[in-house]
Chain A
Amino acid sequence: MRIYVKFYAKIRDEIGIDHMFLDMGNNPSRLIEVIREIDRRMNKKIIEEYYVRRRLLISINDTLIDIDDDILLRDGDKIDIMPLPSGG
């Protein structure tokens, strides 16, 4: 199962790459598993930190999701991960 992940803004700067392809094995993966796999690959605990603090937006196949939803990612899914700005 292959997933395309794209990073935005500060998250992209912190993680150091624009996008990646993740191979998640044969079974559909939960969102939190994908997040942890990204951090494991990059050897940095970045995305999970944003996730725990609810400071990110996640889109799956161009639709924003509620990060609390128990979503299963499937082969070919495209994930966008961006920080949530709060300034005015």
Chain B
Amino acid sequence: MRIMRNVVGQAVNLTKEEMEIYDRQIRITGFGIEGQKKLKSKRALVIGIGGLGSIIATYLTVAGVGKIILVDRDKVELTNMNRQILYNIDDVGKAKARVAAEKLRRMNPYVDVEGVVEEINEDNIDDYVKSVDIVLDGLDNFRTRLLVNDACVRYRRPFIHGAVSGFNGQVMDIIPFKGPCLRCVVPKEPQEESKVVPVIGVTSALVGSIEALEAIKLLTGIGEPLVGYFLVINGLHMRFKTFKVIRRPNCPACGKGISK
């Protein structure tokens, strides 16, 4: 695995051009230049650059998060085109992480975007998670989600979970030991859905945007994160419902006796 310069501790300044690029968000009350500098000093890891990851990575890039690491083992396929908006038809067959990183660098050259063509597994997850300030879920299975969740709990990194199917989706922020983790909701790996999960692109966009928004809030320290709550989105009937989630004493990841 390549990567990962540590930019924490370095003084962060914004150029005149960056001030103009981010002008409209710097004007938001409570965000300001300080919020922008915080974003620039942070590193985000997006695992899976598909329907969710395309949107997450795009919005983190244009928002000005300092370093973004994209990890995906897959190549672009025609069936990705209805939702994975970072890719064009002529990208079919190319590695997603490379194509995505190149496009995002052009979108905002002030962001250090790194694309890694690799499968996330037990052997590499710790190094990835340790090297960033926040982890975002662009995955398509719960086996890897739970692996990522456990590493985020081990290294106390915030993890934004999102998932979609059809017109439906869900989002949850995990701040280890300050609120419930993904295993407090899904303690064991469920049987996966059929290999192909149906989805309309806008559902991925909706959930991915909310994940990116939650990350921006957590990285800048503004607003109230979706911690201890689980947002369920029904796009077909346009209902958003938030359920409470309790940190479980017997959670295999963050339960009693595990916290230090």
B-binding residues in A (CB < 8 A): 8-10, 53-55, 57, 59, 62-64, 66, 68, 80, 82-88
| Cβ contacts under 8 Å, B158 to chain A | none
Which positions in B face A, CB cutoff 8 Å? 48, 50-53, 137-142, 162-170, 184-193, 197-199, 204, 230, 232, 234, 241, 243-246, 248
Counted as pairs of residues, one from A and one from B, with CB atoms less than 8 Å apart, the total is 95
Nearest CB of B to A31, in Å: 15
Would you call A84 and B243 a contact (CB within 8 A)? no
Shortest Cβ-Cβ A-B pairs, 5 listed: A85-B165, A87-B197, A54-B190, A88-B140, A53-B191
Provide the residues of chain A in CB contact with B142, threshold 8 Å: 84, 86
Whether A86 lies near B243 (C-beta < 8 A) is no
Which of A8, A84, A87 is within 8 Å of B234, CB to CB? A8
Residue contact B243 to A85, C-beta cutoff 8 Å? no
Which B-chain residue is minimally distant from A8 (CB atoms)?
B234
**Residues of B contacting A80 in the complex (Cβ-Cβ under 8 angstroms):** 241, 243
Quick one: which of B52, B190, B192, B234 contacts A88, CB cutoff 8 A? B52
**A10 CA to B169 CA in the complex, in Å?**
12
CA distance A85 to B141 in the complex (A): 9
Residues in B with CB closer than 8 Å to A57 are: 185, 230, 232, 243
Give the chain A neighbours of B169 by CB distance below 8 A.
85
Asked if A8 and B168 sit within 8 Å, CB to CB, the answer is yes
The CA of A68 and the CA of B251, in the complex, are separated in Å by: 12
Residues of A within 8 A of B140 (CB): 86-88
Within 8 Å by CB of B165, from A9, A54, A59, A64, lies A9
What residue of chain A has the Cβ atom nearest to residue B248's Cβ?
A66
Known: A54-B190, A57-B185, A88-B140. A9 touches B166 (CB 8 A): yes
Distance between B18 CB and nearest chain A CB, rounded to angstroms: 31
Q: Is the CB of A64 within 8 A of B191?
A: no
Nearest Cβ in chain B — how far from A29, in angstroms?
A: 21
Cα–Cα distance between A63 and B247 once the two chains are bound (Å) = 11
| A82 CA to B51 CA, complexed, in Å | 22
